[in-house]
Amino acid sequence: MATIAQPLPLEKKAKKIEDVGQLPQWKLMVRRFRKSKLSVFALYVLIFFYVVMFLSDFLAPYPHDVLDTNAAFSAPSQIVAGPQGLGIYGVKQELNQELFKWEYTTDPSVFYPIKLFVQGFPYRLFGIIPMDVHLFGLETPPNADPAAPTQRLFLWGADREGRDLFSRVMKGSQISLTLGFIGVLIAVVIGTLVGTSSGYFGGRLDNLIQRLVELVQSFPDLPLFLALAAALPPNVPVIQRFLLITLVIGLIRWTGLSREVRGKVLAFRGSDYTNAAKAAGASDWHIITKHMVPNVMSHVIVVAMLAIPAAIATETALSFLGLGILPPAVSWGLLLRDASTIQAAVTYPWLLIPVGILLVVVLAFNLLGDGVRDAVDPYA
């Protein structure tokens, strides 16, 4: 491949191959992962989303649940450059009697400038630090009609109740970006534990566990999700319902992983190093934690990475059907519910914005998982 005209790359390449034997495995993995540009990009995208999630209360200009009948189905505010920088013109609401639809007209005489670091509703940053400063917000100019309803900035428009969609997407990320994660975590813990013991101890325990797995797998996924979600008590605090749904996801998803882990452990159990450890007098616990689990870990991580987007989509679907997260809490699935009727989606297209965001996140997780899958086997 290399010719005399390009001696440098050849040298470089030789150097890289040379140190393969000296680098720890994780460094090889990182090196391999960096090669798949798309996955690296996906990683940055996800980091961005999670940073936004942690700062969501700071970034959202308004609380997610404040109703405002004066702004029902407001289109995204048109931002204009005015004398005091960026801002929006005042908006008046009128009912179109023929179409029975709210219409909004702008009034260029009143200019509301957008200010950074304005005071707004109180919240706790990272759930701890009490604050009331938000990244941006509208300032009411002196010439505004004091009788008029408070003008608000709708970056992404408003929903039927006049709630700011941008603030709702921000708030919804707190549930949508964590629920799938925790659900998969539960599945991974159960799956690894059960799969390892099943494969390592074998015999009657293995038989029993495999029958159980078979039984759980006899239920088709989605109908079982729906039945369990419908069985959850509806009148519990948000946090509790959140945990129950993660539990449902975890309890259904562990079976596939446990099967795969079992298969791997079965292969490792007969290997020379396990026999050596046994001959040296190592306990079962030692062999499981020091030899079995680390060996299956890379595989588990790959499966988990690819399960997260599926779990996020499951949450969205459940919430969308009214069986997942319930109002007044907000998740992306719940936001899609507003856009679910064709009339709403066509008349108020900005309600489809959460669809795009959800799509980007799920796509990024899938791409990341694909890169990680290639990376955990750095010698290939």
Partner 1 sequence: MVNYIARRLVNMFVLLALVSVIGFWIIQLPPGSILDVRIRQLQAQGGNMQQSQIDALRARYGVDDPFFVQYWKWISRTLQGDFGTSFETDQAVGDRIWNRLGISIALSVLALLITYVISIPIGVYSATHRYTVPDYVITFFQFLGISIPAFLLALLLLVGATQLWDQPIGGLFSPEYIDAPWSLAKLIDFFKHTWIIVVVLAVTSTAGLTRVMRGNLLDVLNSQYVQTARSKGLKENTVIWKHAVRNSIHPLVMGIGVLLPALIAGDALIATILSLPTIGPMYLDALRNQDIYLAGTLLVMFSALLLIGNLIADLVLAWVDPRVRLE
Binding residues (CB under 8 A) for partner 1: these are 214-215, 218-224, 226-228, 230-231, 233, 309, 313, 316-317, 320-323, 336, 339-340, 342, 345-346, 349, 352, 355, 358-359, 362-363, 366-367, 370
| CA 91 to chain CA mean position, Å | 35
Q: How many CB atoms lie within 10 A of CB 158?
A: 27
List all residues 6 or more positions away from 72 whose beta carbon is below 8 Å from its beta carbon: 93, 102, 158, 159, 160, 161, 162
CB of 79 to partner 1, least distance (A): 26
CB of 368 to partner 1, least distance (A): 11
Residue number, 166 or 320, with CB nearest to partner 1: 320
List all residues 6 or more positions away from 237 whose beta carbon is below 8 Å from its beta carbon: none
Residue number, 282 or 317, with CB nearest to partner 1: 317
Residue number, 21 or 234, with CB nearest to partner 1: 234
Residue number, 38 or 267, with CB nearest to partner 1: 38
CB of 251 to partner 1, least distance (A): 11
List all residues 6 or more positions away from 124 whose beta carbon is below 8 Å from its beta carbon: 57, 130, 131
Q: CB burial class (10 A; 0-12, 13-18, 19+) of residue 195?
A: buried
Residue number, 36 or 167, with CB nearest to partner 1: 36
CB of 226 to partner 1, least distance (A): 6
CB of 50 to partner 1, least distance (A): 18
Question: C-alpha distances in angstroms, 118 versus 36, 91, 152, 209, 345?
Answer: 41, 21, 13, 58, 33
CB of 178 to partner 1, least distance (A): 18
Q: What CA–CA distance (Å, rounded) separates 322 from 355?
A: 17
Residue number, 137 or 180, with CB nearest to partner 1: 180
